[in-house]
């Protein structure tokens, strides 16, 4: 009997999180879990936040597939604390695996929390089994309900609590995708989103100083004007800025564009993956930094590099009329690499960026 029960017990995959900060603790997907939720700005405990713990199972030998979840829902106490018991482990059968644990925390007026990811993109790396500290950021005017719901992929209980965001999320995504019928101004819902003096302003990366038009002209010999714009396909964030030097009254083979990531939440690995996906078949070289990719095609020349010292990744693309050879593109990229200290931050109110897509990930989505 015992042998049968044991045989039917799920295989438990290793956890991706640690036991606790600054101390040795056993770690397992099964739990138990505990922690505290505080306001990221005031450090005050947040009482009454909904915390949902979800254990997810797979099943199958070879052809694997989901086998359901178990979940536990609790509310934080006056001190903002939560306790989640061990996994019920009632999902049994042959070839069942406990493959994931996610903790989702939600309180209206704040950006929600997931133990496996951050809303700005990439994997979360600070979740701990015990004494987990969750700092909820207050909702900001510039935050997107669409990004929020996409990030949340909410379990049902949280879906119930976030229903009110759906209409606004539709409009946010519609605007972000360039929809024309919703007007240009923000249309916010929910009292807690009304910006106040305390509402933190969104900081955005500013990479326009990295490669000024004059420096480009000096190196390419181009005599005419550029319009300096934001690249519209990805949202500008505090870690990403795409700059488009659009040649005035010329076709795009005279354009230059560069994308800059600085200290992205997912780290430079995620930027590297984007480079490798964007520049297929290109091997890394040491042309500019130890991780430099050079790509030359009939239509466009591209140079990308990662600079671990400053935690910056840059992808420069240059039309073949502007960069007559790949060396010109490399020279421009080198100039940018030598001036990474010119990357600055500015507040959202100072910008006119109009993203077409949002960038949840540490790399563009």
Partner 1 sequence: MNPSKRSKRARSRSWSRACAFVLAGAALLSTRPASAWDPSTTHAAMTREAVIRSHMHVRWMDGSGLTRGVFTGVRLDPAELDPEVSRALRVAMRRVHEASGGAPLGGPGACPGPSAPASTQARCVEGDVWEMTALGWIQLGVVLETAPRNRLLHHFANGSDPSAATWSDPELPAAVLRGKARRAEGPLARSANRSAFAGGATSAVAWLADRTDPWAPPAALAHLQAAETATDPRERDRELALGLVGLGALLHVVQDQSVPAHARGDLTAFFAPLSPTPGDRGLPLQELVRVLYGRNHVPGALALSPRDASARQRPLAPTLHQHLLGHGDYPGLTRFTQGRFLSESSLPAPMALRDAGLDGTQAAAAILGESHGLDSAEVNGAELTPWPASSGYLRSSSGRGLAAFDTDEEGRTRLFLDRRVYRDQAAHLIPAGIEASASILDLVFPAFPTHTVEFDSGVIDLDLTAGPFAPVLSVMTQAPDGRRTVVQRVKLRAGERNHIVDAFPAPLADDVQLVLRIEGSSAPEHGLPQVATATPHRAAKLEAPSTTAPRTEPADTPTPASAPEAPAEPVPEEAAPVESTRGPSQTELISPYPEAKSDAAPSEKAPAQPPAQTEGETDTQTAPPTDTQTDSKSAE
Scan residues 148-177 and list those touching partner 1 (CB under 8 A): 149-151, 153-157, 159-160, 163, 165-167, 169-171, 173-174, 177
Q: Does 347 bind partner 1 (CB under 8 A)?
A: no
Contact between residue 213 and residue 221 where contact means Cβ atoms under 8 Å apart: no
Q: Does 364 bind partner 1 (CB under 8 A)?
A: yes
- Nearer CB in complex with partner 1: 290/349: 290
Contact between residue 117 and residue 110 where contact means Cβ atoms under 8 Å apart: no
**How far apart are the C-alpha atoms of 14 and 210, rounded to whole Å?**
43
Q: Are strands 226-230 and 240-247 parallel, antiparallel or unpaired?
A: antiparallel
Q: Does 137 bind partner 1 (CB under 8 A)?
A: no
* Contacts with partner 1, 243-282, as mask; x by CB under 8 A: -x-x-----x--x-x-x------x---x--xx-xxx-xxx
Task: Supply the minimum distance, in Å, between the C-beta of residue 44 and partner 1.
Answer: 26
Q: For Cα atoms 13, 365, 314, give the angle at the middle one, nearest 5 degrees.
A: 105
Q: Does 64 bind partner 1 (CB under 8 A)?
A: yes
- Nearer CB in complex with partner 1: 171/268: 171
Q: Residue with structure tokens 């109009």?
A: 354
Q: Does 300 bind partner 1 (CB under 8 A)?
A: yes
Task: Supply the minimum distance, in Å, between the C-beta of residue 347 and partner 1.
Answer: 25
The H or E element that residue 330 is part of is helix 326-338
Contact between residue 138 and residue 39 where contact means Cβ atoms under 8 Å apart: yes
- Nearer CB in complex with partner 1: 47/246: 246
For the segment 83-122, give every residue that binds partner 1 (CB under 8 A).
93-95, 97, 99-100, 102, 104, 114, 116-117, 121-122
Cα dihedral sign, 75-78-80-85: negative
The H or E element that residue 215 is part of is helix 213-220
- Nearer CB in complex with partner 1: 239/295: 295
* Contacts with partner 1, 34-63, as mask; x by CB under 8 A: ------------------x-x-x-x-xxxx
| Partners of 100 in beta bridges | 56
Q: Which of 186, 151, 173 is nearest to 356 (CA)?
A: 173
Q: Does 363 bind partner 1 (CB under 8 A)?
A: yes
Q: Which of 27, 14, 42 is nearest to 99 (CA)?
A: 14
Task: Supply the minimum distance, in Å, between the C-beta of residue 148 and partner 1.
Answer: 10
- Nearer CB in complex with partner 1: 163/218: 163
Q: Does 185 bind partner 1 (CB under 8 A)?
A: no
For the segment 212-231, give every residue that binds partner 1 (CB under 8 A).
231
- Nearer CB in complex with partner 1: 39/263: 263
Residues in contact with partner 1, counted by CB under 8 A, come to a total of: 101
Strands (E), 219-329: 226-230, 240-247, 256-262, 291-296, 300-307, 312-319
- Nearer CB in complex with partner 1: 13/201: 13
- Chain-centre distance for alpha carbon 231: 18
**How far apart are the C-alpha atoms of 293 and 277, rounded to whole Å?**
12
Q: Does 345 bind partner 1 (CB under 8 A)?
A: no
Count the neighbouring beta carbons within 10 Å of the beta carbon of residue 267.
17
Judged by CB under 8 A, which stretch of 130-138, 142-150, 216-224, 324-332 contacts partner 1? Answer: 142-150
For the segment 70-89, give every residue that binds partner 1 (CB under 8 A).
71, 73
The H or E element that residue 158 is part of is helix 156-162
- 209-242 in b/e form (b: 16+ CB < 10 A) is ebbbbeebbebbebeeebeebbbeebbbbbbbbb
- Nearer CB in complex with partner 1: 133/166: 166
Task: Supply the minimum distance, in Å, between the C-beta of residue 305 and partner 1.
Answer: 15
Q: Does 8 bind partner 1 (CB under 8 A)?
A: no
For the segment 320-339, give every residue that binds partner 1 (CB under 8 A).
none
């Amino acid at each position: 009997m015992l042998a049968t029960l044991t045989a039917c017990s799920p295989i438990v995959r290793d956890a991706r999180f640690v036991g606790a900060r600054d101390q040795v603790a056993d770690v397992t997907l099964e739990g138990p879990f505990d922690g505290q939720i505080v306001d990221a700005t005031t450090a005050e405990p947040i009482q009454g936040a909904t915390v949902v713990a979800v254990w997810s199972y797979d099943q199958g030998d070879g052809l694997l597939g989901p086998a359901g979840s178990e979940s536990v829902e609790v509310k934080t106490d006056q001190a903002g604390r939560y306790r989640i018991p061990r996994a019920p482990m009632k999902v049994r059968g042959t070839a069942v695996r406990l493959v994931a644990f996610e903790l989702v925390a939600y309180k209206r007026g704040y950006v929600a929390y997931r133990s496996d990811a951050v809303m700005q993109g990439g994997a979360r790396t600070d979740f701990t089994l015990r004494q987990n500290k969750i700092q909820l950021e207050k909702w900001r005017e510039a935050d997107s309900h669409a990004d929020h719901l996409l990030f949340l992929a909410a379990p049902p209980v949280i879906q119930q609590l976030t229903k009110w965001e759906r209409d606004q999320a539709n409009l946010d995504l519609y605007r972000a995708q360039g929809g024309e019928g919703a007007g240009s101004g923000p249309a916010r819902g929910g009292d807690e989103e009304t910006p106040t003096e305390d509402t933190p302003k969104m900081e955005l990366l500013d990479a326009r100083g990295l490669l000024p038009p004059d420096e480009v002209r000096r190196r390419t010999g181009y005599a005419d004007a550029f319009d300096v714009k934001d690249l519209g396909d990805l949202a500008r964030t505090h870690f990403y800025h795409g700059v488009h030097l659009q040649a005035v009254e010329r076709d795009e083979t005279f354009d230059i564009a560069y994308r800059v990531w600085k200290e992205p939440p997912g780290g430079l690995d995620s930027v590297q993956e984007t480079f490798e996906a964007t520049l297929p078949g290109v091997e890394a070289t040491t042309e500019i930094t130890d991780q430099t990719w050079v790509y030359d095609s009939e239509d466009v020349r591209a140079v990308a590099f990662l600079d671990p010292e400053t935690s910056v990744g840059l992808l420069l693309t240059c039309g073949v009329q502007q960069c007559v050879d790949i060396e010109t593109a490399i020279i421009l990229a080198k100039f940018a690499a030598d001036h990474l200290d010119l990357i600055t931050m500015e507040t959202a109110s100072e910008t006119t960026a109009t993203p077409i897509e949002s960038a949840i990930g540490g790399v563009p989505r």
